[in-house]
Amino acid sequence: MGIVPDWPNVVVTGHFAIYEADALLLAPEYFIRLIQTNFFKAYLWRNKVGAEGRKEVKLDFFESIAIPLPSLQIQRAIVDRWERAAKEELAAIQGASDLEAEMIEHILEEAGIVVHPLRKKPNAFAIINRDLHRWGVEFNRWAWSLDGLLSSTKYPTVPLSAVTSINPTVDHELTDDDLVTFVPMSAVSDTTGQIESSELRPLREVKSGYTRFAESDVIWAKITPCMQNGKCAVARNLKNGVGYGSTEFHVVRIREDVNLLPDYVWLLLRLERVRYAAQRYFTGSAGQQRVPAEFLEELHVPLPPVDVQNEILTRVQIGYAEVARLRTVADQIRAAANAEIEAMILGTLQVRANEF
């Protein structure tokens, strides 16, 4: 739901019902806040009709609901309170995101690893045909390459494909009745980069049509917007050592003869600049764009000793505690604002028109 912007010739799909608020009685912003309250949504949910999977709220029922309608001054005061809380929440979320990016890059830099900025060439530029890696002006407008995005003067820098296997096979001797871990895209948190809600399923249900991976593999979302949002995790505690998940994951497996920690690879692949760089390699149509395996294969990564990798990860883990605190603050701001707004709308909390 939303308020239609003041644009000419706006068209919406038939899935939306359109209402024009009486400007003398109802502020559209207040109406939105009312509809999004927990008590109102719960009431609508209890009154859905239709077959399972296609339940809906009938418009005649929706339009028959009596709603709290304070004065316009009170409505605007409620909206002002919500907008102030939303700004506070956004500031806390942005602070957490900025801290995460700056903290990780600072720790890497102190360890001798530099994450370079993504620079573009001038608007007018010339390029020799043999230097074209891919056709297209936008792709070739960038002035960086995958062998120079991450660098180090202390440690060797190697293609990721030289120390890992990208989308490898997984061999096992499980039967169709054996349980395996199933990881849909929704199970991977784009906030923490962890698998937070995996499922157990019989092998027969998932052995076809899904991506297979093994214990300690790194799974990395390749589709928009999941990739940009940071859906990347190390697969651990897999039932029978095997996992299946969305076909929109690339799988990165550390080679057995390489001293490389999966969590270190995970850290690099979740870097904001690496995710932004991956967008240059998108293929497909808008809304269904994907990063090909080529990006991971050609991405060069610094390879410090394992003890340095562990030191980096330990420091990052400590930094994440403060990031988590800021995100908790944002959650608390939202929860408190929701409760306060609902109380104002229901009339259990007095609102003064000039209070906010």
Q: How many CB atoms lie within 10 A of CB 40?
A: 17
- Residues 183 and 222 placed together within one structural domain of the fold: yes
Q: Provide the 3-class DSSP secondary structure of residue 184.
A: coil
Residues 181 and 241 in one domain: yes
Contacts 24+ apart (CB under 8 A), 307-315: 308/111, 308/155, 309/260, 309/261, 309/263, 309/264, 310/261, 311/111, 312/107, 312/108, 312/111, 312/113, 312/264, 312/267, 313/261, 313/263, 313/264, 313/267, 315/107
pLDDT digits (tens, 9 = 90+) for 175-228: 999 999 999 999 999 999 999 999 999 999 999 999 999 999 999 999 999 999
User: Which pLDDT band holds residue 272 (cuts at 50, 70, 90)?
Assistant: very high
pLDDT digits over 318-353, tens only? 999 999 999 999 999 999 999 999 999 998 888 876
Query: What per-residue confidence (pLDDT) applies to 351?
Result: 82
| Residue 105 belongs to some domain of the structure | no
CATH number at residue 183: 3.90.220.20
Evaluate whether residue 132 is within a structural domain. no
Q: Are residues 276 and 163 in the same domain?
A: yes
Domain count for the chain: 2
Indicate whether 355 pLDDT > 80.
no
**67 plus 172 within the same structural domain:** no
The answer on 285 and 222 residing in a single domain is: yes
Q: Which of residues 186 and 125 earns the better pLDDT score?
A: 186
pLDDT of residue 141: 58
Q: Which pLDDT score is estimated for 138?
A: 63
In a domain, 307, yes or no: no
Full residue range of the structural domain in which residue 226 is found: 156-300
Q: Does 84 map to a domain?
A: yes
What does the pLDDT look like over 222-255, one tens digit per residue? 999 999 999 999 999 999 999 999 999 999 999 9
Q: How confident is the model at residue 117 (pLDDT cuts 50, 70, 90)?
A: confident
Asked if the model's pLDDT at residue 81 lies above 80, the reply is yes
214 and 286 together in one domain: yes
Together in a domain, 225 and 285? yes
Cis amide bond preceding 225, omega within 30: yes
Q: Is residue 245 part of a domain?
A: yes
Q: Over the stretch 285-297, which tens digit does the pLDDT of each residue have?
A: 777 899 999 999 9
Measured distance CA(65)–CA(59) in Å, rounded: 10
Is residue 229 located within the same domain as residue 345? Answer: no
Residue 315 is assigned to a structural domain of this protein = no
**What ranges in the chain are assigned the alpha helix state H?**
28-35, 38-46, 59-64, 72-110, 137-140, 160-163, 203-206, 226-229, 262-269, 272-278, 293-298, 306-346
My answer on whether 284 and 163 are in the same domain is yes
Q: Is residue 280 in some structural domain?
A: yes
pLDDT confidence of 87, banded at 50, 70, 90? Answer: very high
* Residue of 327, 298, 295 whose CA lies nearest to 220: 295
Residue 28 lies in a domain: yes
* Confidence (pLDDT) at 51: 82
